[in-house]
Every structure is written in C-alpha cells, then in structure tokens.
Chains A and B, each alone.
Chain A
Amino acid sequence: MTGDAPLLLAEGLGKDYGARIGCRAVDLSLHEGEVLAVVGESGSGKSTLLSLLSGAQAPSAGRVSYRRGDGVLADLALMPEAERRLLMRTDFGFVHQRAEDGLRMAVSAGGNVGERLMAAGRRHYGAIRAEAADFLARVEIDPARMDEDPRAFSGGMRQRLQIARNLVSRPRLVFMDEPTSGLDVSVQAKLLDLIRALVEELGLAVVIVTHDLAVARLLADRILVMRAGRVIEAGLCDQVLDDPQAPYTQLLVASVLTP
C-alpha cells in the first residue's frame, strides 16, 4: 500500500516440463498489502506459477524479483540459496492445499508454530511458547491444545495451524495454494473469514491460487485468469468477474452458481 515499488515482480516468467508447458510469458507485480487471486481450471498452470513466484522452483524463462527489506529488488534465482531459504522462512509464507505438506505431523502444534522462531535464532523456550500460543489463539486454536500434534486435529484446524505456522514470522508475502478446497463448506467459510481478517490485520500481500471464483471475490483485490499455461485476462477482481472479456473467463463466470 505504500510506495510504488512492487514487492514481487515477475517478468516473462515461464516453466516447461520437457515438452509440456507449465506456464508461459507471465508478467505480474504485487505490492505490499495486495491480494492477487490466480484462477483457472486444473492444469492451467496456476500451481506452477505459484511455485515459481515463491522460489520453490526455478523458472525456465524470465525471472522473479523480490523487494528485500533493504529496498533492493533481487532476482530470486540469482540469490544464494541460504538467502532464498531465509526469505522463505521469514518474509514468505506458503500455505499448502494439504496441511500435511506444510506441517510437521509428528511435532506438536506449538512446535510447528515455534519452528520459524527457532530457525530465526530465538532461543528462549518460554518466549517461543508464549508467542506460539498467541498465534494459535489468533487462528482460533485453543492454546490448551498446543502440545497435541496435528494428527489429532480436524482438517480445518490443521489448515489454521498451517496458517499460524506461517504467520508467526510476520511475513510480508504469503502464497496460498487452494487453502480451502478439500474442507467442508461450513469449515471453508470459517477459514476464509479468518484468512480475510488476518490479511487485513497484518497487511499481508497474498498470492492465492484457487479454482473457486467466490474465494477470489471474497479475498482478492486483483485477479489473474490462466488457461493452458498463459494469463488470458487480468485486472481488478470485481471488473474481471462482473465484466469478463475473454471467452474462457466468461465461461468460468457463467459456470458459477453464485460468484
């Protein structure tokens, strides 16, 4: 929201898996506090794009740059791995579709949340625990359950735990890959409310991949429609949903019962 320099910048971004196209020629920028939804059907390249943006995968073409705390726009691929990893566990967050992919299932909820603090060099058990309890409460997990491991948690709770684990390091940028799919509708709604509140409260920049236009409308400022690895339409969230231009976007919007 402040300054004109983007937090994240993708230029000519592409990824091929052999002959298969992951995504092609994607340009985008994301500013502080902005929520960008990436929508499209399965196989449209949404998740590939997310993995490129978050630095989890190296692109085969183009580049992703991140504005570091010192204001310098740095190419993720050219960063030393140690620095990139440091970013990933401090400035970045990544919420996986399957909580099991983003949590340590054999570690207690408190340990899961505290891990980033310990990775950042925090060495006071009591302080780490207090902060973990605080973040668990913020995602509506009873701190009395912080010593249980996530295997004892429901799907919705696991997802909230995953969010707490990511947010405890006060990231500037959070990537979310279908964070609500696979949950019951009522649980989905609660989780979306929570994500929306946290995003606003913490001023997070978010890139969220979803196939659910309602999720996009609820959370996003801007939207990016992907098909066959390419961005076919992008713009203000309500504009793209209310006045879709591309044939495919119109089909997507028309396919939703209540977008």
Chain B
Amino acid sequence: MISHAMPSQAPRPHADRGRPAARRAGEAAGRAPVLVVEGLAKSFTLHLKGGTRLPALAPLSFAVGAGECVALDGPSGAGKSSVLKMIYGSYRIDQGSVRLADGDDAAELAGADPRLVLRLRRERMAHVSQFLRVIPRVPALEVVAAPLRQQGADTAEARARAGALLARLNLPERLWGLPPATFSGGEQQRVNVARGFLAAKALLLLDEPTASLDAVNRAVVVDLIRERRRQGCAILGIFHDAETRAAVADRTVNVTGRPRDQTETT
C-alpha cells in the first residue's frame, strides 16, 4: 500500500551488486521497504525570539529497503540531522509521514503515541547520534549493553556481547567500567557506535558515526555497517567523510529536495 510512493524503489541492477541473494529475493517478492519517508518537512518556531520561524527541512521523500544503506547529503544546516531525529522521534514531525516496517504492517511515526515510539526504539530502530548523550555515571559497558537488555537479554550475556563489540572497536578494557563522560571524543564515539550496533534492529540511523575516529576504527565501523547490511538491516546515515560514504552507501538522498538521489556509490 505504500510502495507506490517509492521514488527509489525502481530496481537498479547495479545497486544490487554485492548484496545477499536473500535480499534480492525479498525484493523480488515485492517486500515493502523498511522505511518510507513522504513529504517530511520541518521548521522551528522560536517563541523566545518573537516567534521567528526557522525553516529546517524542505519537504523530502525517500525510502530505504532492507539491507540497503542510504546516505543523506546536503549542505550544512540543510536538515540532515533533523531527518534522523524526526525518524527517531527526538524531533516532532510537523509535516509529512514517516513509516517504519513493523511486523506485517508499517507504523506511522508522525503524531505517533509516545509508547509506540518507545517500543519501536526498543525493537526496531537504533540511533547513533553525533554526540553521545547518556545517563551520567553509568559505566560504558552498561551504556552499550542497555539496548540488548531492553530487548530482554540476560544481563551477563548483554555484557559479554557489549564487551566483545567494544573490544572490536579497540576501546581499552580498562575504560569499560568508567562512565563515558570522562572519555575523549573518539572513545565516546566508539561507545556510541557500539551501543547503536549491539542489538539487531531493522533500521539504523547513523549521524556521522566515524567523524572523530582514526582510520583503523573507521574501518571497523565500515565493516560493522556492511555486516548489518548483510543481515538485512536498513541503514540511513550522514557520512561527512566521502571515503566512508563511498564504502558503505548504495545511494545518496539530498535533503535540499532535489531528487538527485540516484548517485551511485561503491
């Protein structure tokens, strides 16, 4: 019922290169995309500044399928982060529609009940924000393990898997028991990435996940993204670094509204 609105849904042979057969089969069967964004727009009204209206995003439509990685593009301030935040629910959706596949159905996120958004965050989507914002005084390992535990995983198992992921991201084990507030930017970023990637979700929202990482760790993140894609996860990201973007994204959606979204990568 929503597939007709997919500008990006047209099969593109070259985009399928390197994708698992399972995904292609899914698409062939006409499976609905994981995320469908239609006419999404945003402006902020600053009541403290005499009601100034600040446009943040011009109407935007796109979709992301399972196993696909889409990069958001556009100049600074064009609303790339706002798109991710509206999908995740940190910003209110003023106009347009965002639908996230949820079981056999799709959940509408515009005007959604907070409980629905909370459930979808728990079960269906993860957000790696630009800056790690976590509960103070909670050790890094617990921060990372939290999404798994919210899905009902056993504490010990969640910690073990969190530790494995942090190790893979080369975060020294001596830091695991410390709250991330004291970490460097790069260390915080890795905690943030680990937290977003630990639990299996249908949709991953990545806001500059490699911004403050060195080459080695950037490569780890690229690997992680590719792994997730192979597992069928839909990924929507902002990658400032062209090399990373080229390494992970199938295509780019420009948030300024120009349908220049068929840019090929890889």
Bound pair: A and B? yes
Chain A interface residues toward B at CB < 8 A? 31, 34, 189, 193, 196, 218, 221-222, 235-236, 238-239, 242-243, 245-247, 250-251, 254
Q: Are A236 and B118 closer than 8 Å at their CB atoms?
A: yes
Q: Is B91 an interface residue (CB 8 A)?
A: yes
Q: 9 tightest A-B contacts by CB?
A: A247-B47, A243-B91, A236-B114, A242-B90, A238-B90, A222-B114, A250-B47, A243-B92, A236-B89
**Nearest CB to that of A219 among chain B residues?**
B135
Q: Is B85 an interface residue (CB 8 A)?
A: yes
Q: Are B118 and A251 closer than 8 Å at their CB atoms?
A: no
**B45-77 toward A: CB 8 Å interface, digit per residue (1/0)?**
111100000000000000000000000000000
**Nearest CB to that of B88 among chain A residues?**
A238
Return chain B residues, CB-CB under 8 Å to A243: 44, 85, 90-92
Q: Are A245 and B114 closer than 8 Å at their CB atoms?
A: no
With the chains together, A34 CA to B46 CA distance in Å?
31
Q: Are B48 and A242 closer than 8 Å at their CB atoms?
A: no
**What are 29 A-to-B residue pairs whose CB atoms are below 8 Å?**
A34-B115, A189-B137, A193-B137, A193-B138, A218-B135, A221-B114, A221-B118, A222-B114, A235-B114, A236-B90, A236-B114, A236-B117, A238-B89, A238-B90, A239-B89, A239-B92, A239-B114, A242-B85, A242-B90, A243-B90, A243-B91, A243-B92, A245-B92, A246-B47, A247-B47, A247-B48, A250-B47, A251-B48, A254-B48
Q: Is B172 an interface residue (CB 8 A)?
A: no
Say yes or no: A239-B91 contact (C-beta < 8 A), given A189-B136, A221-B114.
Answer: yes
Q: Are A31 and B115 closer than 8 Å at their CB atoms?
A: yes
For chain B, residues 1 to 51, give those with C-beta under 8 angstroms from any C-beta of chain A: 44-48
For chain B, residues 131 to 160, give those with C-beta under 8 angstroms from any C-beta of chain A: 135-138
Return chain A residues, CB-CB under 8 Å to B48: 247, 250-251, 254
With the chains together, A250 CA to B92 CA distance in Å?
14
Residues of B in contact, count (CB < 8 Å) = 18
With the chains together, A221 CA to B138 CA distance in Å?
18
Secondary structure of the B contact surface, majority rule? mixed
With the chains together, A196 CA to B135 CA distance in Å?
10
With the chains together, A226 CA to B85 CA distance in Å?
25
Q: Are B90 and A239 closer than 8 Å at their CB atoms?
A: yes
**Nearest CB to that of B135 among chain A residues?**
A218
Known pairs A235-B114, A250-B48. 18 more at Cβ < 8 A?
A34-B115, A193-B138, A196-B135, A218-B136, A221-B114, A221-B118, A236-B114, A236-B117, A238-B89, A239-B91, A239-B92, A242-B85, A243-B90, A243-B91, A243-B92, A245-B45, A245-B92, A247-B48
Return chain A residues, CB-CB under 8 Å to B118: 221, 236
Return chain B residues, CB-CB under 8 Å to A246: 47
**Nearest CB to that of A245 among chain B residues?**
B92
Say yes or no: A242-B47 contact (C-beta < 8 A), given A221-B118, A222-B114, A236-B118.
Answer: no
Say yes or no: A235-B115 contact (C-beta < 8 A), given A189-B137, A247-B48, A250-B48.
Answer: no
